[in-house]
Amino acid sequence: MYQKRIRWNDYTSWLPATFRQRIGWLLLLCLALMLASWMLDGYLPSDPTFVAGLVVLALSMVVRSPGVGSWRFAVWAMLCFVAGLVIPARSFHFLTLLFAAGFIVENLKGKINEAPVLIAVLLSAVFKTMSIVLGFAIRLQMSANAAAALVLLDFDAQASGNMIRLNGQDFAVDPACMGLQMVDISFLYGFFLLGLMERRSGKRLHWWALAATIVGLGGLNLIFNQLRIIFLVLFKIPADSPMHDLVGLAGLALYVLAPAWFGIRWLFQHASFPAGDRQPIWKQFPVQITASALVLVACTAWLVLYETSGKTQHNKGAQALMPHGIPAYCPAEILEDGVIKYAPDQWLVYVKPIRGFYSTEHTPLICWQGSGYTFGRVWEQEVNGKRCYAGTLKKEGNPLLYTAWWFDNGRTQTISQVYWRWLDMGGAPDFSLINVTASDSTTLRRQLEAMLY
């Protein structure tokens, strides 16, 4: 005798499909409120670039296959959730929330395009960390390249760190940004174009064309920043001049935004294929999806509650190093985030613990700005066979200060972002950023000789 196969939905027919769909939208609202709470608490940034990125993420979304659900975002969300439990990095927590939202959206509306995923990664700290790991060394190299290019143009130019001397006059290239803040804007623009072009054409790019777009945007940014430095130095435009920003915006439009528009449009014309030609798998929000969505939102809520309330505890988990060369009589003052301050009369030392290889550090290039100082010259120097970064600090109405910094874990002293993170991944003792500042270069050099060994 034939026996009817019992399906999951037969046990849950009491839950109407329209109600399940409303649950989906309600869960999306819950995730949006969790995101807002993280931003209000300061756990995630709330600056205009981040907010604009979230708006662009929503605008770039294209439903490729209406009615075609998927489990892919659920898998990614759970992987990020588990990774966030092992490594308390904000990137994993943020991506858990966005991937959970993507899972609900795909099973309410249909499979979506790649642009929102790329923007999600861009907005996470992954991109910011990569910029910090590679950015400063690239900026100093750009200064050297600019001087070399000016020499080829028959100018008397010489680079020393971020300082370029042109025909006997010094020009300092801003080491904290140098136009690289526009990188976020250009990538947001490029990823938005991916969604816009797909919505207009009904086509999607091949994987290699998508990869070429990402690499191309990075290359355009490098070219733009290099040409921008040469132009600013050649025409002696200081950082506090309105022309400084105008040159940056004009260069961004000319060397990045315009080529990106034509390049991505060309790829959609020659390296694309029809998107979303599959038949719908389901037209309603299935019970299995509802239950999975509830689990993902519950996991995200746990992260929100735990990370918001335990944020300070995580920071205290990073122990500051007791650096070599600090006199025993020197008192230590513990500041926010576990930073230790040593401040005798002659010099000032900040020891800034770093949570791990996945975390960003309190770079002096940014931190000193909070006290009203700006960097002048920045360069690499060698003391006792060890390398460190050094620079001058300027503030109106105050004497010039000299500062230096490096990464230290009591065994290894380095300025290489890649090297210390690699050692930290391998189980080396925790690293701290050591920042030493003095009122004159001689005092600073003497203290560096005591601390670098």
pLDDT (tens digit per residue) in 378-424: 888 999 999 999 999 988 888 899 999 999 998 999 999 889 999 99
Amino acid at residue number 330: C
pTM for the model stands at 0.80
The token duo for 397 is 């109405």
Mean pLDDT of 147-166: 87
Alpha helices in 235-349, H assignment, sequence order: 242-252, 258-270, 287-316
pLDDT score of 282 more than 60: no
| Average pLDDT of the residues of the chain | 84
Give me Rg for the CA atoms of the chain: 26
Contact 371, 398 (CB under 8 A): no
- pLDDT at residue 315 in the model: 46
Q: Which of 308, 350, 302, 361 is nearest to 326 (CA)?
A: 350
- pLDDT at residue 312 in the model: 42
Work out the angle at residue 380's Cα, subtended by the Cα atoms of residues 376 and 382, and round it to the nearest 5 degrees. Answer: 135
Reported confidence tier of residue 183, pLDDT bands at 50, 70, 90: confident
Mean pLDDT of 369-377: 82
- pLDDT at residue 13 in the model: 47
Helix axes 207-234, 258-270, angle to 10 degrees: 160
Instruction: For the beta carbon of residue 203, count every other beta carbon within 10 angstroms.
Output: 16
Instruction: For the beta carbon of residue 109, count every other beta carbon within 10 angstroms.
Output: 16
Q: Tell me the three state secondary structure of residue 424.
A: helix
Written as one string, the DSSP assignment of 77-145 is: HHHHHHHHHHS--HHHHHHHHHHHHHHHHHHHTEEE-SHHHHHHHHHSHHHHHHHHHHHHHHHHHHHHH
Find all residues with CB under 8 Å of 421, minimum gap 6, and list them.
133, 357
The token duo for 39 is 């931003």
**CA 342 to chain centroid:** 30
Q: What gap in Å lies between CA 50 and CA 300, rounded to an integer?
A: 20
Reported confidence tier of residue 318, pLDDT bands at 50, 70, 90: low
Of 420 and 136, the structure prediction assigns the larger pLDDT to: 420
- pLDDT at residue 317 in the model: 52
pLDDT score of 294 more than 70: yes
Contact 347, 402 (CB under 8 A): no
- Please report, for the chain, the start and end positions of each structural domain, with discontinuous segments joined by +: 14-125+179-310, 332-451
The token duo for 375 is 């960097």
Most confident of 78-87, 175-184, 241-250, 351-360: 78-87
Of 15 and 388, the structure prediction assigns the larger pLDDT to: 388
> Which backbone phi and psi does 230 adopt, to 5 degrees?
-60, -45
Tokens 């001689």 sit at which residue?
442
pLDDT score of 58 more than 80: yes
